[in-house]
Amino acid sequence: MKIVVLDGHVANPGDLSWDSLASLGELTVYPRTAPGEVLERCAGATAVFTNKVVLDAAIIASLPDLKFIGVLATGYNNVDTAAAAQAGIAVCNVPAYSSDSVAQTVFSLLLEITNRTGEYSSEVRSGRWSLCPDFSFTLGPITELAGLTMGIYGLGNIGKRVAAIASALGMNVVSPTSQEAAALPPYVTKVNFDEFLAMSDVMSLNAPLTASNRGKFNAETFARMKRGVIFINTARGPLVDEAALADALRSGQVGAAGLDVLGQEPPASDNPLLTAPHCYITPHIAWQSTAARRRLLDVTASNLAAFISGRPQNKVN
């Protein structure tokens, strides 16, 4: 069996092993693959793995030997799952491998916004504390999270971890989830979307990108939020109208934003969020802890082994 990994560098830059996958067939791992290289590299492959390389209907139709597509991620919007299903190709993702790591990043962004730790450390190193006449100095207000309301959009594996941490910090937790209220943890209150917008002091996006929620957070929804809301997105960039968010940051309607994802990655140099005030951006690293990436590779190999045995797991189409 010929197995191809199209963009393996980010998931495994060399500190982990591909041996479990290699044991299942003839494995070729490419660090990166440009769009024009996909067909040549996948020719004759039975199994292809992609993290972010797009496998659309035209590409799928041009690969008659392909039987399995593995996604080196939880989100699979870069694969035309319907076209794959029509061609009899299983598409399997890796759910829940990064839940703890992404939830941790939500709060690393939030705490940087509320406590300004990096800024304080920089000021101390510059000598400002040494020159201060008092034992303490301040750069501005520090926000206590206890008693604030955390609104979570997307109450899946990651959203539930965010909810648990928020509750442990003394926050009230609300979510416009489609799940039944009786099935939710006792510290999560189900609300409708309008209530979610109006009640949240901090808002965390943890939902997958779908056709129905693309651009859902836009000028109209930002205007309906609490003034000064802290907005965190570790889900998918296209959930957000970035120009509208930049405007909301400049006007103060959104007090601060912590973003690990953008609509275009890497961003164009003229992305308005790069110059927006109180906007903290990390380069899509929430999933990248060593522990999470190790789980990712373990489940990746397990997915293909299960498919070979005739018992596919984590199939999304």
Q: Among 3.40.50.720, 3.40.50.2300, 3.30.720.210, 3.80.10.10, name the CATH number for the domain at 99-281.
A: 3.40.50.720
For the beta carbon of residue 106, count every other beta carbon within 10 angstroms. 28
Question: Which long-range contacts (C-beta less than 8 Å, at least 24 apart) are formed by 169-173?
Answer: 169/145, 170/145, 170/146, 171/145, 171/146, 171/147, 171/202, 172/147, 172/148, 173/149
Q: Tell me what pLDDT residue 245 has.
A: 98
Mean pLDDT of 12-19: 97
- Structure tokens of 234? 């570790």
Domains 2-97+290-308 and 99-281 share a fold: yes
User: Residue 86: how many CA atoms within 13 Å on its side-chain side?
Assistant: 9
pLDDT of residue 10: 96
Matching residue, tokens 């961003």: 267
pLDDT tens-digit readout, 246-287: 999 999 999 999 999 999 999 999 999 999 999 999 999 999
Q: Per the structure block, which two tokens stand in for 103?
A: 């939830």
Number of alpha helices (DSSP H) and beta strands (DSSP E) in the chain:
11, 12
Predicted confidence band at 188 (pLDDT cuts at 50, 70, 90)? very high
Q: Which of 26, 37, 144, 265 is catalytic?
A: 265
Let me know: does 92 contact 71? Beta carbons within 8 Å.
Answer: yes
DSSP 227-258: TTEEEEE-S-GGGB-HHHHHHHHHHTSEEEEE
Domain 2-97+290-308 in this protein, CATH class: alpha beta
To the nearest whole number, what is the mean pLDDT of the chain?
97
The domain ranges of the chain are: 2-97+290-308, 99-281
Q: pLDDT over 90 for what percent of the chain?
A: 99
Catalytic residue among 41, 250, 284, 294: 284
Q: How far apart are CA 127 and CA 315, in angstroms?
A: 56
Mean pLDDT of 66-94: 96
Q: Report the alpha-carbon distance of residue 28 to residue 5 in Å, rounded.
A: 6
Catalytic entry in 161, 236, 293, 295: 236
pLDDT at 75 > cutoff 90: no
Q: pLDDT band for 81, please (50, 70, 90 cuts).
A: very high
Read off the pLDDT band of 147 (50, 70, 90): very high
Nearest to 87 by CA among 116, 49, 55: 55
Element spanning 41, H or E:
helix 38-42
Assess whether 284 carries a catalytic annotation. yes
**Which pLDDT belongs to residue 293?**
98
pLDDT for res 70: 98
> Could you report the per-residue pLDDT of 202-241, keeping only the tens digit for each?
999 999 999 999 999 999 999 999 999 999 999 999 999 9
- The whole-model pTM stands at 0.91
